[in-house]
Amino acid sequence: MNVYADLFLTFAKIGAFTFGGGYAMIPLIRRETAEKGKWISDEELTEIVAVAESTPGPIAVNAATYVGSRAAGFFGALLATLGVTLPSFCVILALSFLHSEFHELTPVRYAFFGIRAGVLALILRALFLMWKQTPKKVFSYAVFAAAFAVCAFLPIHPVIVIAVCAAAGIVFSLVSERRRAEK
Amino acid sequence: MIYLKLFLIFLKIGAFTFGGGYAMLPLVADEAAAQGWLDSETMLDFVAVSESTPGPFAVNIATFVGSRTAGVFGAVCATAGVVLPSFIIILIVSKFLAKFRENRFVSGAMTGIKPAATGLIAAALFAAAATVFFPAGLSGARFAEPSFYLSAGIFALAAVLAFKKLHPIAVVGVCAALGVAAGYAFGL
């Protein structure tokens, strides 16, 4: 098969069969690429997951772009990214029309009454998982508390919060690096 | 123009979300409220829909907001916007992967961004909880309504299930069934 078609179809399959996105997608990407000896090695995939954490955007898109670009340059990256995006795009487009058609129906309204309370639990769990990955340092706790307070109680855009915290992180690391060097 | 606006706003969201998934929620919620695109209840409905459908959360949510706001072409613009920053950055970074990760400015920025993203999710949870438990604002009368206690009960059960690692789709399914049962039983 043509490498472009192969990239597109492989990533369309990955996009169509991963629920929840993000890290759930990594094992499937590994099975479809590295394990089949295709495009990238196991080590590269591990590396890309680490890099995906320090670059913005969905991890699935980051991984697809990287694998595609390594396999077949710019157009490879484009087709892999298109492939991973297209299935959810189509499914969601259909569901968004269904939701606006049917959300006024009594049973659907009741179902979403229950679901909304359940979603709180899912967000709580996501928060818990992220909290576990946060370094156990005073600096992290302070940034966490400040970001929460500012975003919850002040009309300040989250993008500004992220940018300020990134700058604070750089200053903090450079200062603690210098302190270590002085000792 | 609405299409350009959708594209640019989701471009911004895509460029400032690290870690993907729920990290995007606070940014999308903030923009959707500021632009008057979605109310907070529709937003929560959609988080559930996104959990129960395949694909990356970011793409799902961009497609949904885009399609709700401006139809199919709106969905295309929002999705293209949310994907583009990571696409371009990875194209550039893929040439010197290891060096990027070891760069002290990148790792320094991440020591600030990671806890900040966690704090933003905590704020999103706080806002979502307010929507569910006090949709009409904080008032004592709310404690007399059965729906308050039903929501609290469903939330508690869902939390137990979620922390017992039940799949999110199953959690959403159980809560939908409970919601239907409670709705008819109490005539909400």
pLDDT tens string, chain A, 183 residues long: the values are 789 999 999 999 888 877 665 666 777 888 888 888 788 888 888 777 777 777 888 888 888 999 999 889 999 999 999 999 999 899 999 988 888 888 778 888 898 889 889 988 988 988 888 888 888 899 999 999 999 999 888 888 888 888 899 999 999 999 998 888 887
The ipTM is 0.83
Q: Do residues B182 and B154 make contact, with C-beta atoms less than 8 angstroms apart?
A: yes
Per the CB < 8 Å rule, is A16 touching B41?
no
Please report, to the nearest 10 degrees, the dihedral formed by the alpha carbons of residues B170, A100, A94, B56 taken in order: -50
Write the DSSP assignment of A58-78 as a string of letters. -HHHHHHHHHHHHHHHHHHHH
**Whether residue B26 sits in one domain with residue B116:** yes
Per the CB < 8 Å rule, is A22 touching B57?
yes
Chain B: nearest CA to A168, how far in angstroms?
6
Q: Tell me which residue of A178, A168, A148, A8 sits closest to A83, measured CA to CA.
A: A8
Q: What is the mean pLDDT of chain B?
A: 87
The lowest-confidence range among A83-87, B63-67, B101-105, B153-157 is B101-105
Q: Among B49, B107, B152, whose Cβ lies nearest the Cβ of A173?
A: B107
Length of chain A: 183
Of B113, B133, B153, the position where a domain reaches its end is: B133
Express each pLDDT in B151-178 by its tens digit: 999 999 999 998 998 887 888 889 999 9
For residue B109, what are the domain limits? 2-133
Residue B34 corresponds to which tokens in the numbers above? 């500021």
Name, of A69-78, B24-33, B134-143, the range with top average pLDDT. Answer: A69-78
**Whether residue B144 sits in one domain with residue B105:** no
Rounded average pLDDT over B99-124: 85
Q: What are phi and psi of B54, to 5 degrees?
A: -70, 165
Q: How high is the pLDDT of residue B162?
A: 87
Q: Do residues B158 and A122 make contact, with C-beta atoms less than 8 angstroms apart?
A: yes
SS3 call for B145 = coil
- Between residues 36 and 55 of chain B, which touch chain A (CB distance below 8 Å)? 41, 44-55
Q: How high is the pLDDT of residue B181?
A: 92
Of B90, B113, B133, the position where a domain reaches its end is: B133
Q: What is the pTM of this model?
A: 0.82
**Whether residue B25 sits in one domain with residue B64:** yes
Per the CB < 8 Å rule, is A91 touching B54?
yes
Instruction: Give Cα A40 to chain centroid, integer Å.
Output: 20
- Between residues 126 and 155 of chain B, which touch chain A (CB distance below 8 Å)? 126-129, 131-132, 147, 150-152, 154-155
What's the DSSP call for residue A137? Answer: S
**Whether residue B70 sits in one domain with residue B28:** yes
On the question of pLDDT at B142 being above 80, the answer is: yes
Residue B39 corresponds to which tokens in the numbers above? 């109310």
Task: Go through B29-63 and write b for each residue having 16 or more CB atoms within 10 A of its CB, e for each that does not.
Answer: bbbbeeeebbebbbbbbbbbbbbbbbbbbbbbbbb
Q: How high is the pLDDT of residue A21?
A: 59
Mutate to test the interface with A, among B113, B133, B138, B163 (most CBs of A within 10 A): B113
Q: Tell me the C-alpha to C-alpha distance, in Å, between residue A135 and each of A144, B100, B118.
A: 11, 21, 11
Is B70 within 8 Å of chain A by CB? no
With CA atoms as reference, the chain B residue closest to A123 would be B125
**Whether residue B158 sits in one domain with residue B123:** no
Q: How high is the pLDDT of residue B52?
A: 77
Of B116, B133, B150, the position where a domain reaches its end is: B133
**Whether residue B141 sits in one domain with residue B125:** no
**Whether residue B146 sits in one domain with residue B126:** no
Q: How high is the pLDDT of residue B20?
A: 63
Chain A: nearest CA to B3, how far in angstroms?
16
Q: Among B87, B122, B174, whose Cβ lies nearest the Cβ of A148?
A: B122
Residue B60 corresponds to which tokens in the numbers above? 């799902």
**Whether residue B121 sits in one domain with residue B37:** yes
On the question of pLDDT at B100 being above 80, the answer is: no
Number of domains chain B contains = 2
Per the CB < 8 Å rule, is B19 touching A53?
yes
With CA atoms as reference, the chain A residue closest to B161 would be A121
**Whether residue B82 sits in one domain with residue B28:** yes
Write the DSSP assignment of B74-100 as a string of letters. HHHHHHHHHHHHHHHHHHHHGGGHHHH
**Whether residue B73 sits in one domain with residue B51:** yes
**Whether residue B43 sits in one domain with residue B108:** yes
**Whether residue B24 sits in one domain with residue B52:** yes
Q: Do residues B116 and A150 make contact, with C-beta atoms less than 8 angstroms apart?
A: no
Instruction: Report which of residues A170 and B106 the model is more confident about.
Output: A170
Per the CB < 8 Å rule, is B168 touching A170?
no
Q: How high is the pLDDT of residue B3?
A: 95
Q: Tell me which residue of A61, A75, A74 sits closest to A11, measured CA to CA.
A: A61
On the question of pLDDT at B77 being above 90, the answer is: yes
Q: How high is the pLDDT of residue B178?
A: 94
Residue B146 corresponds to which tokens in the numbers above? 């059965």
Strand intervals (E) in A7-156: none
Q: Tell me which residue of B101, B174, B92, B120 sits closest to A160, measured CA to CA.
A: B120
Q: How high is the pLDDT of residue B99?
A: 78
Helix axes B168-186, B146-163, angle to 10 degrees: 160
With CA atoms as reference, the chain B residue closest to A152 would be B123
